[in-house]
Amino acid sequence: MKRVLVVLASVSLTGGIARAQPVPDLPLEGGTEPSQPPLPPDPKPAESADGDHREPAADPYAPLPPPKPEKPLPPIYMPEVLTTPTGWLLPAAVLYSRTSLDTGGGVTSDHRFGLGDVAEFGVATTDAVRERMDDRDLRATRIQPYVTASFRLGVSEDRLFVGQPGVTLGFRKSFERNHNGFKTRIAELTLVASKNVTPRFAVHIGGAFWDASLEGIMDEATEANPEVQRREVSLHDQAQLADQVRVFGGLQIRPLDKSSILVDVGWAPEFCYRCSIDDQKIRLRPVLSWGVRYEVARWVRLEAGVRVPDIDKANLLDAQIFGQLSFTSWALRRAVDSLK
Protein backbone atom coordinates (compact mmCIF):
# COMPACT_ATOMS: atom_id res chain seq x y z
CA MET A 1 0.00 0.00 0.00
CA LYS A 2 2.77 2.33 1.00
CA ARG A 3 4.53 1.67 -2.28
CA VAL A 4 1.35 2.60 -4.20
CA LEU A 5 1.08 5.87 -2.23
CA VAL A 6 4.72 6.73 -2.90
CA VAL A 7 4.27 6.06 -6.63
CA LEU A 8 1.11 8.22 -6.71
CA ALA A 9 2.86 11.07 -4.86
CA SER A 10 5.82 10.88 -7.27
CA VAL A 11 3.51 10.99 -10.29
CA SER A 12 1.59 14.01 -8.87
CA LEU A 13 4.85 15.86 -8.08
CA THR A 14 6.28 15.19 -11.54
CA GLY A 15 3.01 16.36 -13.08
CA GLY A 16 3.16 19.57 -11.04
CA ILE A 17 6.74 20.26 -12.14
CA ALA A 18 5.83 19.52 -15.74
CA ARG A 19 2.94 22.06 -15.60
CA ALA A 20 5.30 24.70 -14.21
CA GLN A 21 7.55 24.52 -17.29
CA PRO A 22 6.95 27.00 -20.18
CA VAL A 23 5.21 25.70 -23.26
CA PRO A 24 7.81 24.86 -25.87
CA ASP A 25 7.95 27.09 -28.98
CA LEU A 26 6.44 24.45 -31.18
CA PRO A 27 3.31 24.88 -33.20
CA LEU A 28 0.45 23.05 -31.64
CA GLU A 29 -1.06 20.34 -33.67
CA GLY A 30 -3.85 21.92 -35.69
CA GLY A 31 -3.47 25.14 -33.66
CA THR A 32 -2.30 28.64 -34.42
CA GLU A 33 1.21 30.00 -34.85
CA PRO A 34 3.01 30.80 -31.59
CA SER A 35 3.60 34.44 -32.57
CA GLN A 36 0.01 35.30 -33.31
CA PRO A 37 -0.45 38.88 -34.56
CA PRO A 38 -2.78 40.99 -32.41
CA LEU A 39 -6.43 40.86 -33.28
CA PRO A 40 -7.88 43.78 -35.17
CA PRO A 41 -9.77 46.31 -33.05
CA ASP A 42 -13.43 45.56 -32.42
CA PRO A 43 -15.70 47.20 -34.91
CA LYS A 44 -18.21 49.78 -33.64
CA PRO A 45 -21.10 48.06 -31.85
CA ALA A 46 -24.22 48.10 -33.97
CA GLU A 47 -27.33 49.70 -32.60
CA SER A 48 -30.67 47.97 -32.78
CA ALA A 49 -33.96 49.65 -33.56
CA ASP A 50 -34.81 50.00 -29.86
CA GLY A 51 -31.52 51.71 -29.16
CA ASP A 52 -29.78 48.80 -27.38
CA HIS A 53 -26.21 48.05 -28.23
CA ARG A 54 -25.56 44.65 -29.75
CA GLU A 55 -22.13 43.10 -29.95
CA PRO A 56 -21.60 42.00 -33.54
CA ALA A 57 -19.95 38.70 -34.21
CA ALA A 58 -16.31 39.71 -34.53
CA ASP A 59 -14.16 37.70 -36.88
CA PRO A 60 -11.00 36.97 -34.89
CA TYR A 61 -9.23 35.78 -38.03
CA ALA A 62 -9.98 38.85 -40.12
CA PRO A 63 -6.80 40.08 -41.82
CA LEU A 64 -5.17 43.14 -40.32
CA PRO A 65 -5.43 46.33 -42.34
CA PRO A 66 -2.13 47.07 -44.06
CA PRO A 67 0.08 49.39 -41.99
CA LYS A 68 0.11 53.01 -43.09
CA PRO A 69 3.21 53.74 -45.15
CA GLU A 70 5.55 56.00 -43.20
CA LYS A 71 6.03 59.43 -44.71
CA PRO A 72 9.58 59.87 -45.97
CA LEU A 73 11.36 62.35 -43.74
CA PRO A 74 12.45 65.54 -45.47
CA PRO A 75 16.16 66.40 -45.35
CA ILE A 76 17.33 68.53 -42.46
CA TYR A 77 19.38 71.51 -43.47
CA MET A 78 21.77 72.60 -40.76
CA PRO A 79 21.08 75.90 -38.96
CA GLU A 80 24.79 76.79 -39.01
CA VAL A 81 27.55 76.50 -41.61
CA LEU A 82 30.43 76.08 -39.15
CA THR A 83 30.17 79.19 -36.98
CA THR A 84 27.73 81.42 -38.86
CA PRO A 85 23.94 81.01 -39.10
CA THR A 86 22.24 79.84 -42.28
CA GLY A 87 18.95 80.86 -43.84
CA TRP A 88 17.55 77.41 -43.12
CA LEU A 89 15.38 76.48 -40.17
CA LEU A 90 14.89 73.18 -38.38
CA PRO A 91 11.58 71.45 -39.22
CA ALA A 92 8.82 71.61 -36.60
CA ALA A 93 9.54 69.64 -33.39
CA VAL A 94 12.94 68.52 -34.59
CA LEU A 95 15.65 68.61 -31.95
CA TYR A 96 19.23 69.57 -32.74
CA SER A 97 22.24 69.25 -30.51
CA ARG A 98 25.89 70.00 -31.25
CA THR A 99 28.96 69.59 -29.07
CA SER A 100 32.34 70.93 -30.10
CA LEU A 101 35.91 70.54 -28.84
CA ASP A 102 39.00 72.32 -30.03
CA THR A 103 42.75 72.28 -29.54
CA GLY A 104 42.61 75.48 -27.51
CA GLY A 105 40.65 73.67 -24.80
CA GLY A 106 37.35 75.14 -25.85
CA VAL A 107 34.16 73.16 -25.27
CA THR A 108 30.90 74.48 -26.62
CA SER A 109 27.41 73.15 -27.12
CA ASP A 110 24.33 74.23 -28.98
CA HIS A 111 20.79 72.91 -28.51
CA ARG A 112 17.89 73.96 -30.71
CA PHE A 113 14.25 73.14 -31.25
CA GLY A 114 12.21 73.71 -34.43
CA LEU A 115 8.95 75.61 -33.90
CA GLY A 116 6.13 75.11 -36.39
CA ASP A 117 8.36 75.13 -39.52
CA VAL A 118 8.62 78.91 -39.18
CA ALA A 119 10.89 79.47 -36.19
CA GLU A 120 13.57 77.98 -34.02
CA PHE A 121 14.62 78.50 -30.40
CA GLY A 122 17.99 77.59 -29.00
CA VAL A 123 20.33 77.82 -26.05
CA ALA A 124 24.07 77.57 -26.60
CA THR A 125 27.46 78.18 -25.11
CA THR A 126 30.10 79.85 -27.22
CA ASP A 127 33.82 80.45 -26.84
CA ALA A 128 34.01 83.00 -29.63
CA VAL A 129 33.87 86.03 -27.31
CA ARG A 130 37.36 87.08 -26.23
CA GLU A 131 38.98 89.46 -23.76
CA ARG A 132 42.15 91.48 -23.33
CA MET A 133 43.16 93.33 -20.17
CA ASP A 134 44.72 96.47 -21.68
CA ASP A 135 46.58 97.94 -24.65
CA ARG A 136 49.75 96.01 -23.79
CA ASP A 137 47.92 92.70 -23.81
CA LEU A 138 48.38 91.66 -27.43
CA ARG A 139 46.94 88.18 -27.16
CA ALA A 140 43.21 87.88 -26.58
CA THR A 141 41.94 84.95 -24.52
CA ARG A 142 38.54 83.36 -24.72
CA ILE A 143 35.76 83.89 -22.19
CA GLN A 144 34.04 80.59 -21.77
CA PRO A 145 31.44 79.41 -21.31
CA TYR A 146 29.42 82.32 -22.65
CA VAL A 147 25.76 81.34 -22.59
CA THR A 148 23.41 82.66 -25.26
CA ALA A 149 19.79 82.18 -26.25
CA SER A 150 18.57 82.57 -29.80
CA PHE A 151 15.28 82.88 -31.65
CA ARG A 152 15.06 82.72 -35.44
CA LEU A 153 12.07 83.28 -37.67
CA GLY A 154 11.92 82.73 -41.41
CA VAL A 155 10.69 81.38 -44.70
CA SER A 156 11.96 78.09 -46.06
CA GLU A 157 13.63 77.75 -49.45
CA ASP A 158 11.37 77.75 -52.57
CA ARG A 159 8.36 78.75 -50.44
CA LEU A 160 7.37 81.88 -52.35
CA PHE A 161 8.62 81.00 -55.79
CA VAL A 162 10.95 78.50 -57.37
CA GLY A 163 14.50 79.56 -56.75
CA GLN A 164 13.72 81.68 -53.68
CA PRO A 165 16.46 81.32 -51.06
CA GLY A 166 15.67 80.40 -47.47
CA VAL A 167 15.55 83.58 -45.39
CA THR A 168 15.76 83.90 -41.62
CA LEU A 169 15.70 86.82 -39.21
CA GLY A 170 17.53 85.77 -36.08
CA PHE A 171 18.21 87.31 -32.71
CA ARG A 172 20.86 85.99 -30.36
CA LYS A 173 21.56 87.44 -26.97
CA SER A 174 23.83 86.41 -24.15
CA PHE A 175 23.13 86.17 -20.49
CA GLU A 176 25.26 88.57 -18.46
CA ARG A 177 28.77 87.15 -17.97
CA ASN A 178 30.81 88.15 -14.95
CA HIS A 179 34.49 87.49 -15.60
CA ASN A 180 37.62 89.05 -14.03
CA GLY A 181 35.36 91.56 -12.25
CA PHE A 182 33.80 92.81 -15.48
CA LYS A 183 30.23 92.24 -16.61
CA THR A 184 29.75 91.75 -20.32
CA ARG A 185 26.82 91.06 -22.65
CA ILE A 186 26.52 90.59 -26.39
CA ALA A 187 23.57 90.63 -28.82
CA GLU A 188 23.35 89.97 -32.53
CA LEU A 189 20.49 90.52 -34.98
CA THR A 190 21.01 88.66 -38.25
CA LEU A 191 19.28 88.45 -41.61
CA VAL A 192 20.57 85.54 -43.71
CA ALA A 193 19.71 84.05 -47.09
CA SER A 194 20.75 80.52 -48.05
CA LYS A 195 20.37 78.92 -51.43
CA ASN A 196 21.10 75.46 -52.80
CA VAL A 197 22.45 76.64 -56.16
CA THR A 198 22.86 73.04 -57.32
CA PRO A 199 22.19 69.85 -55.35
CA ARG A 200 25.88 69.86 -54.42
CA PHE A 201 26.58 73.53 -53.88
CA ALA A 202 25.01 76.05 -51.48
CA VAL A 203 25.72 79.69 -50.72
CA HIS A 204 24.95 81.61 -47.53
CA ILE A 205 25.11 85.36 -47.20
CA GLY A 206 23.87 87.64 -44.48
CA GLY A 207 24.21 90.78 -42.47
CA ALA A 208 24.60 91.04 -38.70
CA PHE A 209 23.83 93.99 -36.48
CA TRP A 210 25.96 93.69 -33.36
CA ASP A 211 25.72 95.18 -29.92
CA ALA A 212 27.65 94.56 -26.70
CA SER A 213 28.09 96.12 -23.30
CA LEU A 214 30.90 96.13 -20.74
CA GLU A 215 30.61 97.21 -17.11
CA GLY A 216 33.34 97.48 -14.50
CA ILE A 217 36.21 99.57 -13.19
CA MET A 218 37.86 100.44 -16.49
CA ASP A 219 40.03 103.39 -15.58
CA GLU A 220 43.39 103.47 -13.82
CA ALA A 221 43.52 105.57 -10.66
CA THR A 222 45.68 108.62 -11.20
CA GLU A 223 46.67 111.57 -9.05
CA ALA A 224 44.18 113.73 -10.88
CA ASN A 225 41.48 111.07 -10.57
CA PRO A 226 42.24 109.02 -7.46
CA GLU A 227 38.74 107.54 -7.12
CA VAL A 228 37.74 105.39 -10.03
CA GLN A 229 34.20 104.10 -10.30
CA ARG A 230 32.42 101.35 -12.12
CA ARG A 231 30.93 102.48 -15.39
CA GLU A 232 29.39 100.96 -18.48
CA VAL A 233 30.35 101.29 -22.12
CA SER A 234 28.43 99.77 -24.99
CA LEU A 235 28.94 99.32 -28.68
CA HIS A 236 25.80 101.29 -29.48
CA ASP A 237 27.16 104.28 -27.53
CA GLN A 238 30.64 104.13 -29.01
CA ALA A 239 29.88 103.38 -32.65
CA GLN A 240 27.76 104.75 -35.46
CA LEU A 241 24.88 102.52 -36.56
CA ALA A 242 26.81 101.51 -39.68
CA ASP A 243 29.77 100.42 -37.56
CA GLN A 244 27.57 97.86 -35.86
CA VAL A 245 26.74 96.15 -39.17
CA ARG A 246 28.89 93.34 -40.55
CA VAL A 247 28.49 91.09 -43.58
CA PHE A 248 29.09 87.38 -43.16
CA GLY A 249 28.67 84.31 -45.33
CA GLY A 250 29.70 80.83 -46.26
CA LEU A 251 29.98 78.20 -48.96
CA GLN A 252 29.00 74.56 -48.85
CA ILE A 253 30.22 72.08 -51.46
CA ARG A 254 29.20 68.41 -51.43
CA PRO A 255 31.68 66.45 -53.57
CA LEU A 256 30.53 63.11 -52.13
CA ASP A 257 27.04 62.03 -51.14
CA LYS A 258 27.76 62.12 -47.42
CA SER A 259 30.61 64.61 -47.21
CA SER A 260 30.61 68.39 -47.55
CA ILE A 261 33.35 70.98 -47.54
CA LEU A 262 32.39 74.12 -45.64
CA VAL A 263 33.92 77.59 -45.47
CA ASP A 264 32.54 80.60 -43.61
CA VAL A 265 33.54 84.05 -42.42
CA GLY A 266 31.85 85.52 -39.36
CA TRP A 267 32.48 88.02 -36.60
CA ALA A 268 32.96 87.84 -32.86
CA PRO A 269 33.18 90.55 -30.21
CA GLU A 270 36.40 91.23 -28.31
CA PHE A 271 36.47 93.16 -25.04
CA CYS A 272 39.49 95.14 -23.87
CA TYR A 273 38.78 96.03 -20.25
CA ARG A 274 41.36 98.73 -19.63
CA CYS A 275 42.22 99.95 -23.06
CA SER A 276 42.88 103.68 -22.81
CA ILE A 277 40.35 104.69 -25.48
CA ASP A 278 36.70 103.77 -25.00
CA ASP A 279 36.29 103.06 -28.73
CA GLN A 280 38.81 100.24 -28.37
CA LYS A 281 37.03 98.55 -25.46
CA ILE A 282 34.54 96.65 -27.62
CA ARG A 283 35.55 95.60 -31.12
CA LEU A 284 34.30 93.10 -33.67
CA ARG A 285 36.94 90.72 -35.03
CA PRO A 286 36.59 88.59 -38.19
CA VAL A 287 36.78 84.80 -37.87
CA LEU A 288 37.49 82.43 -40.77
CA SER A 289 36.55 78.77 -40.49
CA TRP A 290 36.82 75.90 -42.90
CA GLY A 291 36.22 72.19 -42.51
CA VAL A 292 34.43 69.03 -43.54
CA ARG A 293 31.05 67.64 -42.51
CA TYR A 294 30.51 63.90 -42.75
CA GLU A 295 27.03 62.44 -42.38
CA VAL A 296 27.67 59.32 -40.31
CA ALA A 297 23.97 58.49 -40.25
CA ARG A 298 20.72 60.33 -40.91
CA TRP A 299 20.76 61.56 -37.32
CA VAL A 300 24.43 62.17 -36.64
CA ARG A 301 27.07 64.28 -38.34
CA LEU A 302 30.75 64.67 -37.64
CA GLU A 303 32.53 67.91 -38.42
CA ALA A 304 36.17 68.84 -38.22
CA GLY A 305 38.05 71.90 -39.33
CA VAL A 306 40.12 74.94 -38.55
CA ARG A 307 39.03 78.23 -37.06
CA VAL A 308 41.22 81.33 -37.34
CA PRO A 309 40.25 84.26 -35.14
CA ASP A 310 41.71 87.62 -36.17
CA ILE A 311 41.94 86.58 -39.79
CA ASP A 312 42.45 90.24 -40.69
CA LYS A 313 45.87 90.01 -39.02
CA ALA A 314 46.54 86.61 -40.63
CA ASN A 315 47.35 85.40 -37.12
CA LEU A 316 47.67 81.64 -37.66
CA LEU A 317 49.26 81.06 -34.26
CA ASP A 318 45.88 81.40 -32.58
CA ALA A 319 44.18 79.05 -35.04
CA GLN A 320 42.32 76.12 -33.50
CA ILE A 321 41.52 72.75 -34.94
CA PHE A 322 38.08 71.68 -33.86
CA GLY A 323 35.91 68.62 -33.98
CA GLN A 324 32.19 68.65 -33.45
CA LEU A 325 29.40 66.15 -33.36
CA SER A 326 25.83 67.13 -34.16
CA PHE A 327 22.67 65.12 -33.63
CA THR A 328 19.20 65.66 -35.00
CA SER A 329 16.13 63.82 -33.83
CA TRP A 330 12.61 63.38 -35.20
CA ALA A 331 11.49 61.52 -32.07
CA LEU A 332 9.52 64.42 -30.63
CA ARG A 333 7.91 65.11 -34.00
CA ARG A 334 6.80 61.49 -34.25
CA ALA A 335 5.42 61.63 -30.71
CA VAL A 336 3.52 64.84 -31.47
CA ASP A 337 2.15 63.40 -34.72
CA SER A 338 1.00 60.26 -32.93
CA LEU A 339 -0.83 62.36 -30.32
CA LYS A 340 -2.62 64.26 -33.05
Residues engaged in binding another protein (CB under 8 A) = 92-93, 115-119, 121, 149-151, 153-155, 159-161, 167, 169, 171, 173, 175-176, 185-189, 191, 209, 211-213, 234-237, 239, 241, 244, 336, 339-340
The distance of closest approach from Cβ of residue 113 to another protein in the complex, given in angstroms and rounded to an integer, is 9
Question: Which uninterrupted H or E stretch holds 335?
Answer: helix 331-339
Among 180, 136, 84, smallest CA distance to 280 is for 136
> 82 or 155: whose CB is closer to another protein?
155
| Cα-Cα end-to-end distance for the chain | 72
The distance of closest approach from Cβ of residue 74 to another protein in the complex, given in angstroms and rounded to an integer, is 14
> 2 or 340: whose CB is closer to another protein?
340
The distance of closest approach from Cβ of residue 166 to another protein in the complex, given in angstroms and rounded to an integer, is 11
Question: Which uninterrupted H or E stretch holds 7?
Answer: helix 2-20
The distance of closest approach from Cβ of residue 66 to another protein in the complex, given in angstroms and rounded to an integer, is 23
Cα gap 60→31, rounded to integer Å: 14
> 184 or 324: whose CB is closer to another protein?
184
Q: Which residues of 197-233 are buried (b: 16+ CB within 10 A; e: fewer)?
A: eeeeebebbbebebbbbbbbebeeeeeeeeeeeeeeb
> 162 or 297: whose CB is closer to another protein?
162
> 151 or 299: whose CB is closer to another protein?
151
Asked if 154 contacts 87 with a C-beta cutoff of 8 angstroms, the reply is: yes
Asked if 98 contacts 324 with a C-beta cutoff of 8 angstroms, the reply is: yes
The distance of closest approach from Cβ of residue 332 to another protein in the complex, given in angstroms and rounded to an integer, is 9
> 77 or 322: whose CB is closer to another protein?
77
Q: Which residues of 285-323 are buried (b: 16+ CB within 10 A; e: fewer)?
A: bbbbbbbebebeeeeebebebbbbbbbeeeeeebbbebe
The distance of closest approach from Cβ of residue 269 to another protein in the complex, given in angstroms and rounded to an integer, is 11
